[in-house]
Amino acid sequence: MSAFKRVLVANRGEIALRIIRACHEEGLEAVAVYSEADRLSAHVRAADAAVPLGAAPASESYLNIPKLIAAARTTHCQALHPGYGFLSERAPFVDAVTAADLVFVGPPAEAIRAMGDKTAARRRMQAAGVPIVPGTTKPLGSVVEARPEAARLGYPVLLKAAAGGGGKGMRLVREERELGSAFEAARSEALKAFGAGEVYLEKYLERPRHVEVQILADANGRVVALGERECSIQRRHQKLIEEAPSVAVTPALRRRISDAATAAAGAAGYRSAGTIEFLLTPGGEFYFLEMNTRLQVEHPVTELVYGVDIVREQLRIANGLPLRIHGGPLQPRGHAIECRITAEDPFNDFLPATGVVRYLRPPTGPGVRWDGGVEAGNEVTLFYDPLIAKLIVWGETREVALHRMRRALRELVIVGLPTSQAFHLRVMDEPRFRRGEVDTTYLERVGAELLAQDSRPELTRPLAAVAALLAEERRAAAHPPAPSDGRSARESAWVQTARRESLRRWTE
Ligand code: ADP
């Protein structure tokens, strides 16, 4: 296999920047793509070359297969990294990439197909001896078929879309009389979201944790498990905070769940980075939920506790090289936490926010990592997901990591639009979270109480200082001082003093 030297990064935002950085660290060139909305984005400047794709809607840009392939061709790329989201888990895209003689930095199309249909994946896992959530392993034709299955499992049950993702097409059914309408609702939602209406049933597990295992598999058939991530802090089945390792996983459980994940990856004929998601019950039983056949948003927490750069390993694997990870079962070192900083208003039911980021000061200092894609001056639109950045910290213990995350969240200043920052700070202070007593219903139970008041002194002080400064600069820009005018010159000096003052005040 001839080694590739130049990679098309078929994504945007923080993950595009993350992949470009990994390419450069591996001595590879990276080519960015961008939509009209992302002209000024950091990932465009970070790359060695950048190709415009077209208008802002994803269908005209990041989801447009012919345009992506053409971009790779014209810039002489030999490989393509899909990132996450967009086309990353679409088998036909992998086929098109491969047909264009490009190396796909990800799993084989067959593995994506095998794991993309959830009922087929459940059958495959069952055959490989991986425990699956009790339920059906074939799509249900009608509610008539569903009824006896639901009764067998015992209510509550969960209806799920076979093609599912992002929590779509999922319906909780607490009792039999709700089954009919829930079945139709799940089916039509699935049809709309995925173009496939097949649904199946799972037993609804009460208060499980979402625990997932990161794996890396190379072309020689070697599969390595990089322990687990705890992803139970979710809102509407979307993760908001992730940690590694999970406080609920003992070394013995880690071995068992890692073995199950390794078996799952083997059964899928997997290659590259992938994640096996499990639900872990309060009793310590774990069940296969699904496999994500791509790099995940939350991969950095694993990187920090295992000392492995997952994206660089992906690039190596795609180039036919063996994994750089040596030795037997790996042990996590210390503790890592990630908060997804999104343009959403936690005090208004997480309503997505849009607007220009006027000022951005990411936290720095020991043990802090900022995986961002948005900079001051960039506009956050509704065209793409609301992720501004991932704030990740590492500490020797969970306690240290918690303190560090609190400190980092307090250092972060974002002006221009509402973000999830204050929400994260409150979770870090919440006693049950601090004790590690979390499950996937955590936010449903404590969210309202957590977000009762919509202001926070630690955040409002630096924000107010920056907002005042920006207002002053706007006024100054609207009335530029004439050199001969003594009064305007004095005003300008006043603006400068205000700037110094604000800076001094934030850093006190
Ligand atoms: P999607 O692919 O749509 O994201 P998943 O199957 O990965 O759906 O599930 C997403 C989340 O939904 C899980 O993390 C968990 O919080 C919840 N969930 C899924 N299946 C079950 C179940 N059987 N019992 C309880 N909660 C579940």
Per-residue three-class SS string for 7-28:
EEECCCHHHHHHHHHHHHHCCC
- Residue spans of beta strands (DSSP E) within 387-508: 387-395, 413-415
Distance (Å, whole) CA 312 – CA 24: 10
Segment 170-188 shows an average pLDDT of 96
Ligand 1 geometric centre to CA of 281 (Å): 13
Q: Looking at residue 493, what is its pLDDT? A: 54
Ligand 1 geometric centre to CA of 132 (Å): 12
Q: How confident is the model at residue 328 (pLDDT cuts 50, 70, 90)?
A: confident
Closest CA to 189 of 162, 170, 209: 170
Whose Cα sits closest to atom 21 in ligand 1? 204
pLDDT higher than 60, residue 506: no
Q: Looking at residue 473, what is its pLDDT? A: 77
- For the beta sheet containing 6-9, the strands, ordered from the edge strand earlier in sequence to the opposite edge, are 49-54, 29-35, 6-9, 79-81, 103-104
Q: Please indicate whether residue 164, judged by its CB atom, sits closer than 6 Å to ligand 1.
A: yes
pLDDT higher than 80, residue 259: yes
Express each pLDDT in 129-152 by its tens digit.
999 999 999 999 999 999 999 999
Type of residue at 217: A
Q: Looking at residue 165, what is its pLDDT? A: 83
Are 31 and 7 contacting, i.e. CB atoms less than 8 angstroms apart? yes
Distance (Å, whole) CA 422 – CA 413: 11
Atom of ligand 1 nearest to the CA of 170: 3
- Any residues with CB less than 8 A from the CB of 425 and at least 6 apart, and which? 406, 409, 410, 456, 458, 459
Distance (Å, whole) CA 47 – CA 16: 9
Ligand 1 geometric centre to CA of 210 (Å): 8
Ligand 1 geometric centre to CA of 72 (Å): 36
Secondary structure element (H or E) that encloses residue 109, with its range: helix 109-116
Place of tokens 């093609």: 163
Are 303 and 310 contacting, i.e. CB atoms less than 8 angstroms apart? yes
Q: Which of 237, 240, 385, 439 to mutate to test the pocket of ligand 1 (most atoms within 8 A of CB)?
A: 237
Closest CA to 10 of 92, 76, 93, 91: 93
C-alpha to C-alpha distances, 396 to 246, 305, 308, 403, 462, nearest whole angstrom: 14, 9, 17, 11, 29
pLDDT higher than 60, residue 211: yes
Atom of ligand 1 nearest to the CA of 204: 24
Q: Please indicate whether residue 204, judged by its CB atom, sits closer than 6 Å to ligand 1.
A: yes
Q: Which of 117, 276, 440 to mutate to test the pocket of ligand 1 (most atoms within 8 A of CB)?
A: 440
Q: How confident is the model at residue 1 (pLDDT cuts 50, 70, 90)?
A: very low
Q: Looking at residue 474, what is its pLDDT? A: 79
pLDDT higher than 70, residue 481: no
pLDDT higher than 80, residue 367: yes
Q: Looking at residue 475, what is its pLDDT? A: 81
Q: Which tokens sit at 248?
A: 């609920």
Q: Looking at residue 505, what is its pLDDT? A: 45
Q: Please indicate whether residue 212, judged by its CB atom, sits closer than 6 Å to ligand 1.
A: no
Express each pLDDT in 386-417 by its tens digit.
999 999 999 999 999 999 999 999 999 999 99
Share of the chain above pLDDT 70, in %: 92
13: left (phi over 0), alpha (psi -120 to 50) or beta: left
Question: Strand pairing partners for 276?
Answer: 213, 291
pLDDT higher than 80, residue 436: yes
Tally: H helices and E strands in the chain: 17, 22
Q: Looking at residue 472, what is its pLDDT? A: 75
pLDDT higher than 50, residue 68: yes
Q: Please indicate whether residue 202, judged by its CB atom, sits closer than 6 Å to ligand 1.
A: yes
pLDDT higher than 50, residue 423: yes
Closest CA to 246 of 204, 278, 272: 278
Q: Please indicate whether residue 189, judged by its CB atom, sits closer than 6 Å to ligand 1.
A: no
Whole-model pTM: value is 0.91
Burial code of 185-212, b = ≥16 C-beta within 10 A, e = fewer?
Answer: ebbebbbebbebbbbbbbbbbeebbbbb
Q: Which of 149, 157, 170 to mutate to test the pocket of ligand 1 (most atoms within 8 A of CB)?
A: 170
- The three-class DSSP label of residue 223 is strand
Question: Strand pairing partners for 292?
Answer: 275
Residues annotated as catalytic (active site), given as ranges: 294
Q: How confident is the model at residue 483 (pLDDT cuts 50, 70, 90)?
A: low
Q: Which of 158, 211, 297 to mutate to test the pocket of ligand 1 (most atoms within 8 A of CB)?
A: 158
Q: How confident is the model at residue 460 (pLDDT cuts 50, 70, 90)?
A: low
pLDDT higher than 80, residue 350: yes
Q: Please indicate whether residue 210, judged by its CB atom, sits closer than 6 Å to ligand 1.
A: yes
Distance (Å, whole) CA 184 – CA 9: 39
Q: Please indicate whether residue 122, judged by its CB atom, sits closer than 6 Å to ligand 1.
A: no
C-alpha dihedral sign at 184, 188, 189, 195: positive
Closest CA to 344 of 387, 405, 389: 387
Segment 177-194 shows an average pLDDT of 96
> Range with the lowest mean pLDDT among 7-16, 212-221, 450-459, 470-479?
450-459
- The three-class DSSP label of residue 269 is coil
Q: Please indicate whether residue 158, judged by its CB atom, sits closer than 6 Å to ligand 1.
A: yes
Q: How confident is the model at residue 122 (pLDDT cuts 50, 70, 90)?
A: very high
Q: Please indicate whether residue 237, judged by its CB atom, sits closer than 6 Å to ligand 1.
A: yes
Ligand 1 geometric centre to CA of 339 (Å): 20
Q: Taking the chain, what is the end-to-end CA distance rounded to the nearest angstrom? A: 57
Please calculate the CA angle 438-200-272 and round it to the nearest 5 degrees: 65
Segment 324-336 shows an average pLDDT of 91
Q: Domains in the chain and their CATH numbers?
A: 6-105 (3.40.50.20), 134-203 (3.30.1490.20), 209-459 (3.30.470.20), 463-507 (no CATH)
Ligand 1 geometric centre to CA of 202 (Å): 10
Q: Looking at residue 470, what is its pLDDT? A: 77
Atom of ligand 1 nearest to the CA of 440: 16
Q: Looking at residue 326, what is its pLDDT? A: 87
Express each pLDDT in 221-235 by its tens digit.
999 999 999 999 999
Ligand 1 geometric centre to CA of 410 (Å): 32
Place of tokens 């840009």: 61
Question: Strand pairing partners for 6?
Answer: 29
pLDDT higher than 60, residue 324: yes
